[in-house]
Structure 1
Amino acid sequence: MSLYIRDRTVDELATRLQKATGARTKTEVVRRALEQELERVESARSLRERIAPSLALADAMGQGRSDFDVKAFLDEMWGDV
């Protein structure tokens, strides 16, 4: 898939960044820039926002069994009965 930059200013910026970083192509420059921006935006989100999907999954799974004996389960699994 090709990358077409029609805006002259954006093209010049991409060329400058390509030269400054030593990237092989403008596509590589754009990919790196997008990855860095996504990382910046995602790291700016609060902890609550970042863990919300995990909390929703845990809620969907439910409480679980309180009488589950993990040691007995592991012993049986490893044949240490």
Structure 2
Amino acid sequence: MAFSIKDKATDEAVRRLARLKNTSLTEAIREAVVHEYDRISDKTPLLDKLAEISARYRSYPKTGLEADKAFFDELSGDE
């Protein structure tokens, strides 16, 4: 089975991806299509995904420690 890519921009994009991943053109196309299919077919609503992340965050034990504002201000240059 063969595909013929007649669009120059698409051809260049596939070749860049293949070079970046150090893989064949066929493998680059297959992975890109599978990833895009998986992304689109994931029917989990965004709010459900966020609720899962929030629940995981809340499950961490509280340490009782306070953030060192001066330390973070220095890191960000807001002395």
Deviation digits for residues 13-57 of structure 1, max 9, x if unmatched?
000000001112x121111100000111112x147xxxxxxxxxx
Q: Which protein is richer in helix relative to its size?
A: 1
**TM value normalised by structure 2:** 0.51
Report how many aligned residue pairs link the two structures: 45
Match of 1:35 in 2: 34
Distance 2:18 2:3 in 1: 14
Q: For structure 1, which runs of at least 5 residues remain unmatched after alignment?
A: 48-81
Q: Which runs of 5+ in 2 are unaligned?
A: 46-79
| Shift >2 Å, 4+ stretches | none
Give TM-score, length-normalised by structure 1. Answer: 0.50
Identity rate of aligned residues, in percent?
A: 29
